[in-house]
Amino acid sequence: MAACVSRVELSVSCRSLLDKDVGSRSDPLCVLLQDAGGGRWAELDRTERIKNCQDPEFCKKLVVDYYFEKVQKLKFGVYDIDNETLDLSDDDYLGGIECTLGQVVSSSVFTRPLELKHGKPAGKGTITIAAEEIKDTRVVYLEIEAQNLDKKDFLGKSDPFLEFHKQSDAGTWQLVYRSEVVIKNNLNPCWRKFSVPLQTFCGGDFNKPIKVQCADHDSDGSHDLIGAVQTSLAQMQTAGPGSPVEFECIHPEKKQKKKSYKNSGIIRIKSCKIETEYSFLDYVMGGCQINFTVGVDFTGSNGDPRSPDSLHYISPDGINEYLIAIWSVGSVVQDYDTDKLFPAFGFGAQVPPNWQVSHEFALNFNPSNPYCQGIQGIVDAYRQVLPQIRLYGPTNFSPIIKHVARFAAHSVQQGTAAHYYILLIITDGEITDLDQTRQAIVDASKLPMSIIIVGVGEADFKAMEFLDGDSGVLRSVTGEPAARDIVQFVPFRQFKNAPREALSQVVLAEVPKQLVSYYKWQGWPPLKPPEVKAV
């Protein structure tokens, strides 16, 4: 199961609540429920009760785990509490709303009218929900070198590495970082710049004792201590360009044994900076729009859509694998796009009126406006286009990748984290223009976009797995490496008997990392960066 992206804190306030109490105002409380499937709702959290108030601003925050790749259906219920029991069935219902967590986090402020039941307003009552991620997003970046370290190896010099430990409240030392690079045969090493989350490094406490140990690496694991330093982040932060902070590296046993012992070398902090590392939610809550485009494979290998064994055959209950893939991925992504207008294209078919093969035709046959209204609009356009085209070939991906890349390249010119693009390609198999597609993906890896490929049917998808890049960095034919991994491939057959949401959870799990890696690479903060709160 995918790891939780983060935890979200929801602040709730209401206006103009119904007045259910005789002689005084209502005493409201808000409860948060999550869809547990099968028509059941499970309580996640609840606010405090506020006495005699029709416009409450609840102090207690509601906390929920957030997953980008899931549609998390929530229900907020507001009750007038007139007793001390936890059970809400004996309390007056003042109204509620149903929504998704995606809708809440992608709106800076989310306000909705309260309803007593579907379609029946709760007077003029409204509820406002604001989301905030719970985390300290700061990161410590350190550059460290050492001088004149003790020689520990009989035949050569030492192979030094560093370990950082923070002191727990109980006084024990907990490892927070070990340098990856063992510098061979060097008594004056300069380690590579590294970073550790502030929370991990010192729990956000700049004065917490930090112990830095320098040891000589031995391949059998019996590393020899060269010496140690005790300091704090506050001390290390005083390092600046041209004025490093220096500490004597002390070996406690040597110090005890020899009166003439000075030190086992000098540890020098060249630079210690604290920077904010933004998360996926920082970008989304800061106003980044996720633009969703669909590309559908209409090549002849799918089979005649009128035949029940065709992958494009729509069953009596109105579905096929293409439609399930569009619904499951689109239902998650649509919450992050305010206009809900999604361009949808087909490729590999002969299209009217001249029956030329097209590798990027609008499903609605309107090239100047290929946008469909919502996911339902894509589904409707797909159903309408099927009888009007002739399935043909070859299977070329590069035209549609380049199409979306042009939009992504245009958004880059703004120099802000305003738009990110997701292209969903649904295909039945072997790709014809593999070399051109490799180049298109390598080019797109430098742009704010991710590509999801869902393979339908029983074909051999080796080429798709190659494009996924999980087994190594994808390169173009000329050897140019992708700047980052942006392709996620999933064969639909693995999800045939799984719940419908399982597909979206797997294909979208990588997107938050891919989005953050792109903006970090560019050095772009969110449009509206979060306020940094000291922990």
- In this predicted model, what pLDDT tens digit does every residue of 343-356 receive, in sequence order? 999 999 999 999 99
Least confident of 149-158, 305-314, 466-475: 149-158
> Which residue is it, tokens 């809440």?
104
235 CB neighbour count, 10 Å cutoff: 17
DSSP annotation of 374: H
**Residue 228 pLDDT > 60:** yes
DSSP annotation of 284: H
State the average pLDDT over residues 458-475: 82
| Helical segments of 453-529, H only | 462-468, 500-508, 511-522
**Residue 466 pLDDT > 70:** yes
State the average pLDDT over residues 248-263: 92
**Residue 156 pLDDT > 70:** no
What is the C-alpha end-to-end distance of the chain, expressed in Å? 30
Q: Where are the domains of the chain?
A: 6-134, 138-276, 281-522
In the chain, how many H helices and how many E strands? Answer: 12, 26
Could you tell me the pLDDT band of residue 534, with boundaries at 50, 70 and 90? very low
The yes-or-no answer to whether 6-134 and 138-276 have a common fold is yes
pLDDT in tens, 16-34: 999 887 777 899 999 999 9
Least confident of 36-45, 203-212, 375-384: 36-45
Q: Give pLDDT, residue 1.
A: 35
Length of the chain: 535
**Residue 4 pLDDT > 80:** no
Q: Give pLDDT, residue 272.
A: 96
Query: Which CATH number fits the domain 138-276, given the four candidates 3.40.350.10, 2.60.40.150, 2.40.50.100, 2.30.40.10?
Result: 2.60.40.150
Q: Chain-wide mean pLDDT for the chain? A: 90
Residues 285, 526: contact at Cβ < 8 Å? yes
Q: Give pLDDT, residue 25.
A: 84
Nearest to 113 by CA among 16, 11, 10: 16
* Cα–Cα distance list, 526 to 225, 288, 402 (Å): 44, 7, 26
Least confident of 216-225, 257-266, 473-482: 216-225
Least confident of 74-78, 133-137, 235-239, 409-413: 133-137
Could you tell me the pLDDT band of residue 79, with boundaries at 50, 70 and 90? very high
Report strand pairing: 449-455 vs 356-358. Answer: unpaired
Least confident of 41-50, 172-181, 269-278, 317-326: 172-181
DSSP 3-state of 434:
helix
Which CATH class name applies to 6-134? Answer: mainly beta
**Residue 90 pLDDT > 90:** no
Which CATH class name applies to 281-522? Answer: alpha beta
